[in-house]
Amino acid sequence: MTDTSQNGRRAAPTLEAVAAEAGVSKSTVSRVINGSNQVSPDAAAAVEAAIERLNYVPNRAARSLVNSRTMAIALVVPEDTTRFFGDPYFAAIMQGIARGLETSDYVLTLQLTSPSHPSTKTIRYLTGGNVDGAFVISHHSGDHFLTELGTSLPVVFGGRPLRTGPGSSYFVDVDNAAAAATGTKHLVDLGRRRIAILAGPVNMPAGVDRTSGWREALNEAGLDPKRIAHGDFSHASGAAAMRELLEQHPDLDAVFVASDLMAMGALTVLRDRGIAVPDDVAVVGFDDSPAAVAGPIQLTTVHQPSQEMGYAMASMMLDLLGGKPVEHARILPTHLVVRDSA
């Protein structure tokens, strides 16, 4: 007879049911679920087969008590909600992290914090035994607490931290400087000589490194790296920075942009001013996000593997939590995707 709950639905299989199905004790089932090696191979195989037949889902709370773990990992993003939900980069990183954690028992909790400093509530949450580890993406140089968080729990950064510390030694990134140099050199190779940059924030590693790569490529070509304006990686800031560049350097014939969203803002301004792309001004972006192909002009851009970065972050975290040896940094490759804008 089928076991049902009081509301008429089929009751979830219990630990006792698994033990009966496998012909072992409850303690043996518990040891198998919790990864103990003090179980014979035959007994372990019988328990695993019973779990599959009954579609048994272990009680996460009970397992966390046994393991002294919360089975939760925080995703800490020092950005406001508008930037987080409006930037496809964050969606791609989250997809990668979620895919990397899919086969584990860990759940992800989101913590949006101030770009300058996490709130007292966030600090209490992260250090109060509520999570087993933390991912940090889009961090700023003022996030001193986040670079020291690794003294309390495992932390993996998405991107090289600007400020090094005891808790900031594990990260996944691309070589932003080399990638920006590649995008800028493409403009040089097209014959452009007055190449500007819409740079990212000076308090973020990606902003600093991409500006450095642009400057290096221009210096190598004997060109003057003086045409520069800054944004915050958002569409609106890209438009504002493009207007600033055109006012200060109306002679520019190309622009390297530190993110696709900023490039979309720049393209809008160029179109409104009657400046043809790429004939008058060639544009190269960075990210190769869905925004790059969303407008009337297909954007030439540097592809960074954002989903793969998230997946690598998850793999690194699971290895840290599992006590496995972990490389402190993993740098993923980039490449240029040539489209209409350059």
Contact 342, 190 (CB under 8 A): yes
| Residue 129: predicted pLDDT | 82
C-alpha 177/C-alpha 334 separation (Å) is: 11
Q: Does the structure show a pLDDT above 50 at 192? A: yes
Least confident of 16-20, 217-221, 300-304: 16-20
pLDDT computed for residue 4 by the predictor: 47
Model pLDDT, residue 48: 87
Do the beta carbons of residue 301 and residue 339 sit within 8 Å?
yes
Confidence band, pLDDT 50/70/90 cuts, at residue 225: very high
Please state the rounded mean pLDDT for residues 320-326.
Answer: 89
**pLDDT band per the 50, 70, 90 thresholds, residue 65:** very low
User: What are the pLDDT digits (tens) for 28-48?
Assistant: 887 887 666 778 888 889 988
- Angle at which helix 26-33 crosses helix 15-22, to 10 degrees, equals 100
Give CA–CA dist 25/98, Å, rounded: 35
Mean pLDDT of the chain: 86
CA distance 109 to 105: 13
- Identify the pLDDT of residue 142: 56
- Least confident range from 128-142, 248-262, 276-290: namely 128-142
5 pLDDT tier (thresholds 50, 70, 90): very low
Residue that wins the pLDDT comparison between 30 and 282 = 282
* CA distances for 251 relative to 37, 192, 298, angstroms: 71, 11, 23
Q: How confident is the model at residue 7 (pLDDT cuts 50, 70, 90)?
A: very low
- Residue 43 token pair: 């007994």
What percent of the chain has a predicted confidence (pLDDT) above 90?
53
State how far the Cα of 260 lies from the Cα of 256, in Å rounded to an integer. 10
Which pLDDT band, with edges at 50, 70 and 90, does 2 fall under?
very low
Q: What domains can you pick out in the chain, each with its CATH number?
A: 15-67 (1.10.260.40), 72-173+306-331 (3.40.50.2300), 176-304 (3.40.50.2300)
Whole-structure pTM over 0.85, yes or no? no
